[in-house]
Amino acid sequence: MVSIFQFGKKYSTIILLGSIIIVAIFLRTWQLQSIPPGFGLDEAAYANDALETAETGQYAAFYPDNTGREGLFIIIVSAVFQLFDSGIWQLRIVSACAGILTVLGVFVLARKLTHVIPIALLSTFFIAVSFWPIVMSRIGFRATLTPLFIVWLGILYLYAKEKKSIGLYVACGILLGLGLYTYLAFRMVIVLMILYSSVEIFLSPKKERAKTLQRWFALFVAAGIMVFPLALYFLYHPLDSINRAMSISIIFSDHPVQSFLINIIKTFGMFNIQGDPLWIHNIAHAPLLLLPVGILFLVGLAIIAFNKHQLPQKRFIRFFLYTWLCIMLLPSMITNEHIPSALRSIGAMPVVYIFIGIGAWYSYMYIQKKLKKKWKAIFITGSLLFLIVIGGIEYYRYFIFWANTKGTACQYIAYHTRIAEQLRTLPQGTTAYIIVDVPGLQLDGFSLAAQSLLFLTHGNPNVVFLHEEEVATVPMMPNDRVISILQVEQEQVCERNE
């Protein structure tokens, strides 16, 4: 059968995978300095911490400001700043690289799990070109490391389980421990690994059970050693370990059980019905998946649920994929802020696209078998065009529509980048005094609202940040400018959460 999915030739898989990776690189790096437009406040908080870390050499397992953030992302960004100087693209390139490696990881994981190269390539294609992975790979947040660590942890686990190698289980533990330095939602991976270990130990033959226990014990010991600095920090600062989680938990809602049930519906519905309400993560309220891709996701879910496939280890694949999906969606389900959340669900991203790849391949094979021979060539061409159109639509949605939408510019504080550009062109001898007092969260004596300007004007000798009470004590020249961040915020007519 002549088909785009015949992979008998030696180099065809490498060529196709290489092409997809090139597309992924382009979509995650092109115009990274200017898209997303502006420089979000949370991005700026990461950047300022990384800048301070780079300048002082004081690395931390956990950074307590801005409700607390695990340190790995900030440490990596600080290294990039030391190599390439500080800037917007230098922050975002860390996320972009994580996204590219996640795309590659999805291929390896899907290939190892299903043993079907077309499924692996389709899964990789859809995660490479889709809006949700693109937007998450171009934003300077620590959460972007989560899918990278979890997908490669999944790969290592599959090889460890197959080889029964204690060394590979230790490698899994190291990756698990490192992953806990990425993002709050990654803590759910501990639950996932406990489930995998319990099932593997329970199902292992009695003669091998002791060795299986030994391997998993080695994994968790390795993870414990890796996470020890973070655990030690939490031992001395226990509230920091739960501060952010508790501030948004449904536990403190009026009806926690009802909220949880509603959040389950909203979270599963975000793929095909109504998605994340924030422009910073999504086209506000739009489903995370395009309609045809969302249908393929549902087809993949059904195929795995009802074992309507010829994949090996049917029960294991169903358990592996469904537990990963459900556990890693929990961070969205158990919170009461901006539900559903594309960001807090980021750990489920790799497996979502594997389900899509499964749905796409079996849909293709089913239709192709039903067609008469004379229609098969047309169907193959149509399938190629379908993939190209999907990629084109997703490009338009991100780079044309979302990047130029008012809501996106508002949530990424685009007007702060315009102010910073103006401040870089101040006449010689002119000083700009920026009053930083804005109600709300304070970081190192400055409001969160001031963080982007603090970073964007770093190293500019003509810019001075002041508190309101300090203004009267500063001798100003006639040409000097005074900018109140509070006034700038009040003059903006956009609604960031609309």
Could you tell me where the beta strands, DSSP code E, fall in 153-286? none
Same domain, 330 and 455: no
State pTM to two decimals. 0.93
Identify whether the C-beta of residue 73 lies closer than 8 Å to the C-beta of residue 184. Answer: no
pLDDT at 286: 97
- Residue 2 maps to a domain: no
337 & 449 share domain: no
Minimum mean pLDDT among 124-138, 185-199, 319-333, 371-385: which range?
371-385
The answer to whether residue 3 sits within a structural domain is no
Residues 300 and 208 in one domain: yes
User: Is pLDDT above 90 for 221?
Assistant: yes
Confidence of residue 1 (pLDDT cuts 50, 70, 90): very low
Structural domain ending residue among the three candidates 343, 376, 407: 407
DSSP letters, 120-179, are: HHHHHHHHHH-HHHHHHHSS--GGGHHHHHHHHHHHHHHHHHHHT-HHHHHHHHHHHHHH
The residue range of the domain holding 425 is 413-491
Give per-residue pLDDT as tens, 312-339. Answer: 888 899 999 999 999 999 999 999 888 9
pLDDT reading at 280 higher than 70 = yes
Q: Classify residue 34: in a domain, yes or no.
A: yes
Looking at the structure, do residues 428 and 391 belong to the same domain, yes or no?
no
Task: Calculate mean pLDDT across residues 128-145.
Answer: 97
Number of domains in the chain: 2
Average pLDDT over the chain, rounded to whole?
90
What percent of the chain has pLDDT above 70? 94
Which of 364, 380, 407 terminates a domain? The answer is: 407
Residue 187 placed within a domain: yes
Which of 64-78, 385-399, 464-478 bottoms out in mean pLDDT, i.e. has the lowest? Answer: 464-478
Q: How far is CA 12 from CA 6, 265, 376, in A?
A: 9, 41, 21
Res 467: pLDDT: 80
Name the least confident of 31-35, 194-198, 369-373, 465-469: 465-469
Distance of CA 75 to the CA centre of its chain: 17
Same domain for 152 and 203?
Answer: yes
Assess whether 140 and 118 both reside in one domain.
yes
